[in-house]
Amino acid sequence: MPKLLACSFCKKTEKQVARMLGGPKVYICDECVGACNRILEATPVDFKGWDKMSEGELLSGLKVADATVDATRTVLQSHVDELRRREVSWRNIGEALGVSRQAAWERFS
């Protein structure tokens, strides 16, 4: 059986995502492309520092930035959910995140 392709960013396999794009030795899934697009939308192309932006520009970017955080949090939660589905312990998840077992559990359970 041929080896499944896996996203180089989130490690999901081609069977776990709708689309997978390939480059030289790297793959990216549709979910990660979506997350990247939201990050790009939230970051002004000609960013010269927060202090150089008008209040209008700062306010108009706020909702996109918030949505980006939400989207990233959703990806992170499903990442942890998959580990828990595989019965990986909170201790191991905490260790991978550099936090205590208790902190990992409080944040993701």
Count other Cβ atoms within 10 Å, centred on residue 38: 18
Tell me the longest C-alpha to C-alpha distance in the chain.
57
Q: Could you say whether residue 9 binds Zn ion (CB under 5 A)?
A: yes
Cβ proximity to Zn ion, 59 vs 96, nearer residue: 96
Q: Could you say whether residue 35 binds Zn ion (CB under 5 A)?
A: no
Cβ proximity to Zn ion, 11 vs 52, nearer residue: 11
Q: Give which of 29, 82, 42, 15 is closest to 74, Cα–Cα.
A: 82
Q: Beta partners for 6?
A: 13
Q: Could you say whether residue 13 binds Zn ion (CB under 5 A)?
A: no
Minimum CB separation of residue 42 from Zn ion in Å reads 19
Contact 105, 90 (CB under 8 A): yes
Q: Could you say whether residue 16 binds Zn ion (CB under 5 A)?
A: no
Q: What is the binding site for Zn ion (CB under 5 A)?
A: 7, 9-10, 29, 32
